[in-house]
Amino acid sequence: MALQIERDYQRFREIVKGKIRENLRKYMSHGEILVPRGRGVVSIPLPRIEIPHFRFDTRKMGGVGQGEGDIGTPIGVGEVEGGAAAGDQPGEHLLEVELTFEELVQILAEELELPRIVPKGKEDIYVEKERYTGIARSGPESLRHFKRTYKEALKRQLIAGLYDFENPIVVPIREDRRYRSWKVRLVPIAKAVILYMMDVSGSMGPEQKEIVRLESFWIDLWIRHHYKRTETCYIVHDAAAKEVDRETFFRLREGGGTRISSAYKLGWEIIQERFPPDEWNIYVFQFSDGDNWDGGDTETCIKLLREHYLPNVNLFCYGQVKSAYGSGDFIYHLERHLGRAENLILSRINSKEEIYDSIKAFLGKGK
């Protein structure tokens, strides 16, 4: 039976993607809405898309049920199928829509009008790659080129007059065999590293960390989409900095003061050691409430940025989140001293609702 559901199903998915685009701001500020499901797929619960009808107010309609219970016994919150004794109305079920990362990236790009990232012009980063472009006379049987072999055999049989038009059987012999062969070529490859730095001092609460977690989801998604190979690296700091894994990065909570330069120093060491800037596209995202220790640390930071980071990284993004103690003045200093730098992006994130705008600012440069 030739069914055509695929057509309507695809159209429905288009509409769903449109809805997600419309509500992207909401999805970006409420991470729990996106449920990762297996590799490279997220699931998004959506309310049923309804075609409006004249209908009764379900809350006023009530209905008939069956079973035990005294008068006044609660039987459900809103989920009772209002006015549906005849069972023709679906309840208010949520629909889970699965999207691949690829589709999500597309939505992100369209909605935020993000330009494609152009990797740094480092044409000297090559990798050896085999490509099957040639034909050889010998090789493993698994690479035998059937069509070429057949042609060779046919040619030989025709020339030798062995081809019988009545009984056109072509039998290749050893010499007819042709095999696919490969050539090794040097292909430029784009590698990227995303370096996250977060302030875990006492003033950064769970809500601030949630903002960072949500931002990192979208940043990862976007940068991974553009590079074949992407590494991530997480640094936390209060007065001192250390490298941690992803889990710890979002969980860790330390007390103490804030010395941002400690993270910058550690970050630079890691870059020099593991991600040399002439081989890697480097992205640094730093989040803090901006309340830096004022014993001259900010000056050290600016110096580090000016001398090491800005000349070497693709992008340095600083997001200043507002904590219970307000928002510090670190961002002002950066703005004042380094505001002209093309690859430095500063963004103030006062609440979850502003994630959308800060992502747009961070990724909007196409770097």
Partner 1 sequence: MARWTHEQIQDVVQEVYEYVLQEGLDPLETVFEIVDYETMNELAAYAGFPKRYPHWSFGMEYEYIRQSYRYGLHRIYEMVVNNDPAYAYLLESNTLVDQKMVIAHVFAHSDFFKNNTWFSKTNRKMIDTMANHEATIQTYIERYGPEEVESFLDICLSLEDLIDFHSLFIPRKSRQKPEEVQPRPTPVKLKVPRPYLDPYINPPEFIEAQKQQHEKKRQTPPPFPIAPEKDILLFLIEHAPLENWQKVILSIIRDESYYFAPQRATKIMNEGWATFWHSRIMTRYLLKDPEVIEYADKHSGVLAAPPHRLNPYKLGYELWKDIEERWNKGRFGPEWEACDDMKVKAQWDRKLGLGLQKIFEVRRFANDLTFIDQFLTEEFCERHKLFVYQYNRETGYYEIKDRDYQKVKHQLLLQLTNFGKPIIYVQDGNYKNRGELYLKHKHEGVDLDIPYAKETLKHIYALWKRPVHLETVIQNRRRVLTYDGGSHLEVQMA
The sign of the torsion formed by the CA atoms of 131, 132, 133, 137 equals positive
**With binding defined as CB under 8 A, does residue 256 bind partner 1?**
no
Shortest distance, position 17 Cβ to partner 1, whole Å: 12
- Sequence-separated (6 or more) residues with CB below 8 Å from residue 19: 46, 49
- Strand stretches in 289-331, DSSP E: 315-321
Shortest distance, position 63 Cβ to partner 1, whole Å: 6
d(C-alpha 251, C-alpha 228), whole Å: 29
**Window contacting partner 1 (CB under 8 A); options: 47-55, 268-276, 301-309, 346-354:** 47-55
Q: What character string, x for contact with partner 1 (CB under 8 A) and - otherwise, covers 63-92?
A: xxxxxxxxxxxxxxxx-xxxxxxxxxxx--
**With binding defined as CB under 8 A, does residue 248 bind partner 1?**
no
Shortest distance, position 104 Cβ to partner 1, whole Å: 18
Q: Which of 35, 49, 127, 187 binds partner 1 (CB under 8 A)?
A: 49
Shortest distance, position 161 Cβ to partner 1, whole Å: 55
Q: Which residues of 219-234 are buried (b: 16+ CB within 10 A; e: fewer)?
A: bbbbbbbbbeebebbb
**With binding defined as CB under 8 A, does residue 97 bind partner 1?**
yes
**With binding defined as CB under 8 A, does residue 12 bind partner 1?**
yes
Shortest distance, position 67 Cβ to partner 1, whole Å: 5
Number of CB atoms found within 10 A of residue 88's CB = 8
Interface positions, 14-43, toward partner 1 (CB under 8 A): 14-15
**Tokens representing 44?**
């998004």
Give 15 or 135: the residue with its C-beta nearer to partner 1. 15
Number of CB atoms found within 10 A of residue 113's CB = 8
Q: Which of 56, 126, 132, 325 binds partner 1 (CB under 8 A)?
A: 56
Sheet with strand 191-199: strands edge to edge: 241-244, 229-237, 191-199, 281-288, 315-321, 344-349
What amino acid is encoded at 227 in this protein?
Answer: Y
Query: Which residues bind to partner 1, rule: CB under 8 A?
Result: 1, 3-5, 7-15, 48-49, 51-78, 80-90, 93, 95-97
